[in-house]
Amino acid sequence: MVLERQARIDSRPLAPRDLPDPTPGPHELLVRVRACGVCRTDLHVIEGDLAPRRLPLVPGHQVVGHVATLGSAASRFRVGDRVGIAWLRGTCGSCAYCRSNRENLCGDSRYTGWDADGGYAGYALADEAYVYAIPESFSDVDAAPLLCAGIIGYRALRRARVAPGSRLGLYGFGSSAHIVAQLARHRGCEVYVATRDAAHRRLAEELGAVWTGDTADPPPAPLDAAIVFAPVGDVVPPALRALGKGGTVAIAGIHLSDLPSMPYGACLFDEKTLTSVTSNTRADGEELLREAAAIPLRPRTTTFPLAAANEALAALASDAVFGTAVLIP
């Protein structure tokens, strides 16, 4: 499914195209795609919230499949191995950020489904160094959401300094948040969920949230940390006000509407911290997959055929997907 030009999803901008099978470079893998998760970042790329880096483009960056062909110098995997391709596609490997285990901040970082074709297709290419082995405990469909929603949620937990047993607020309850809720519950946290959608509040309650409310509602107890998943700047001040002293709010999305003016005393005083999440490191992905398999974590998914990618994205845009939409070639 190819994006020729950025446009609103209701105009059905993705179109089916027959393309030649890509040929792997020396250190690349050709992966036969079995499932590809649909992410709000795909929507930002398609609709133009993120500036285009390549057009035409095959979107998609939560790819699960089997290795079909090895590049001439590829040795990390074997043909037939099940692997995952995620958002972070490449870095320079030599800058100060890469050398200090912060490769997510590399100025030359590249991304699947933005800088290069992704997984809304039958086959996808990736550098073997940025590919993950998928634990056997997950089906193809269940593994797909872990490759972005899971990894970014995992990094957001770290950036929000969420300690075991703490009170964690989640603002917005889509694909990433419903995975984070399961991680946090496994760590003994109390989870408080603020979302405008009643159906999403019900899902949060099913997953063990101790309280649910609207995004402007104050939770019944001060939060130790909060993560903002909704791409709406107006949600940030209520999240900050909900914190206890010394708490942290982490903004998990790659795109956020402008922050409104907010009072310093109510929102940031008492040594509160407001921070962001920028992509992820490969270590984040490896750690998330290990912890998710140990729980074991189970994403909620809704599958669509690949040809219905526009419909899956439209459902995501209207908050009509519970958990994660997954495309099946």
Do 271 and 243 lie in one domain? The reply is yes
In tens, the pLDDT along 208-263 reads 999 999 999 999 999 999 999 999 999 999 999 999 999 999 999 888 999 999 99
Residue 233: what pLDDT? 96
Q: What is the pLDDT of residues 144-196, one digit of tens each?
A: 999 999 999 999 999 999 999 999 999 999 999 999 999 999 999 999 999 99
Query: Are 37 and 76 in the same domain?
Result: yes
Average pLDDT over all residues of the chain: 96
Q: Does residue 37 surpass a pLDDT of 90?
A: yes
Contact 176, 193 (CB under 8 A): no
Q: How far apart are CA 62 and CA 303, in angstroms?
A: 14
Cα–Cα distance measured from residue 305 to residue 204, given in angstroms and rounded to the nearest whole number = 27
Number of independent structural domains in the chain? 2
The radius of gyration of the chain from alpha carbons, rounded to an integer in Å, stands at 19
Q: Kindly state the tokens that stand for 117.
A: 């074709």
What is the total residue count of the chain?
Answer: 329
Residue 6 predicted with pLDDT over 90:
yes
Q: Is 235 in a helix, a strand, or coil?
A: helix
Question: Both 6 and 128 in a single domain?
Answer: yes
The enclosing domain of 320 has a CATH number of 3.90.180.10
Q: Please work out, in degrees rounded to the nearest 5, the angle formed at the alpha carbon of residue 167 by the alpha carbons of 161 and 168.
A: 60
pTM of the full structure: 0.94
Residues 139 and 10 in one domain: yes
On whether both 247 and 291 belong to a single domain, the answer is no
Last residue of a domain, one of 276, 302, 320: 276
Q: Would you place residue 322 in the very low, low, confident or very high pLDDT band (cuts 50, 70, 90)?
A: confident
Residue 280 has a pLDDT of: 95
Whether 112 shows a pLDDT value over 90: the answer reads yes
CATH of the domain at 165: 3.40.50.720
In this predicted model, which residue has the larger pLDDT, 268 or 322? 268
Q: What is the pLDDT of residues 271-292, one digit of tens each?
A: 999 999 999 999 999 999 999 9
pLDDT at 92 over 90: yes
Is residue 51 scored above 90 in pLDDT? Answer: yes
pLDDT average, residue stretch 78-92: 98
Which residues span the domain enclosing 106? 2-145+280-328
**96 shares a domain with 202:** no
At residue 319, the pLDDT reads 87
**pLDDT at 253 (0 to 100):** 86
